[in-house]
Amino acid sequence: MSGHSKWSTIKRKKGAIDAARSKVFQKLAKELYVAAKGGDPDPANNASLRMVVEKAKAENMPKANIESAIAKAASKGAGESYEAVRYEGYGPSGIAMMIDCLTDNKNRTAGFVRSTLSKRGGNLGTDGSVSYMFKRKGLIVLENVYNEDKLMEDVLEMDVLDIVVDEDITIYTEPDKFLEVKDGLDKLGYNKYIMCEVTFIPDNYIELDEEATEKVMSLVDALEDIDDVQAVYHNLDI
């Protein structure tokens, strides 16, 4: 599958400073809370929650933080209430963007997202304006420290869509096969995860020059800095 290099965002995550990592953990805690609040607080009985737990583990979120977020959701009382909202639009040079949020105030979040887009050369679109350009898939990225032939043989026996081996090992699955494949990898000892989540992958990527790429990534960073924003998906070829 082409486009694997687009996951240079992985490298950005690996080299994140403490403040940025703390921000990631805060967003994951909110995602864990919402998933646990919306179903069984036991990940074994709540596939949505388990997916977030696996994502958090791949980000090296401390076990205590994960358990605390789930316990908070399981505690008695009304607690906090968040609504999932998705915004679609375009960044500089026509780069398609989907922005997933968890918010307790839609008007506030919409204002922040709209303002951030417009200030950095983008614009908010209508529902469905870019989502058709993306497919929801399981994404598992492993460190490339295994015997390639044996790994390929093992993984291709699993229900995967594709596997790409270069600097890292990237495995794509259908969303409903993600946990099954993850369990299979764990059982075989392939557990040095860099990323492990169900996400949105663009059908095609757009390549820009360095200056234009920096403008788009500056917008992505600004959007990710908004507390209500959980994830930003785009089709820029980095």
Q: Is the pTM of this model over 0.95?
A: no
Query: How many angstroms separate the first and last alpha carbons of the chain?
Result: 15
Q: What pLDDT is recorded for position 12?
A: 55
pLDDT above 70 (res 4): no
* Residue 41: pLDDT over 50: yes
Q: Determine the structural domain holding residue 125 and report its residue range.
A: 83-132+204-237
Whether residues 198 and 214 share a domain: the answer is: no
Question: How confident is the model over 79-112, as pLDDT tens digits?
Answer: 688 999 999 999 999 999 999 999 999 999 999 9
Q: Are residues 126 and 19 in the same domain?
A: no
% of the chain residues with pLDDT over 90: 83
Residues 56 and 166 in one domain: no
pLDDT confidence bin for 9, thresholds 50/70/90:
low
167 & 154 share domain: yes
Provide the Cα torsion 153, 158, 162, 165; round to 10°.
-40
Are 70 and 10 within one domain?
yes
Residue 89 confidence (pLDDT): 96
Mean pLDDT of 48-53: 94
* Residue 151: C-alpha distances to residues 179, 182, 190 (Å): 18, 14, 8
Residues 55 and 153 in one domain: no
Query: Which CATH number does the domain housing residue 90 bear?
Result: 3.30.70.980
217 and 198 both lie in a single domain: no
Q: CA–CA separation, 85 vs 199, rounded Å?
A: 15
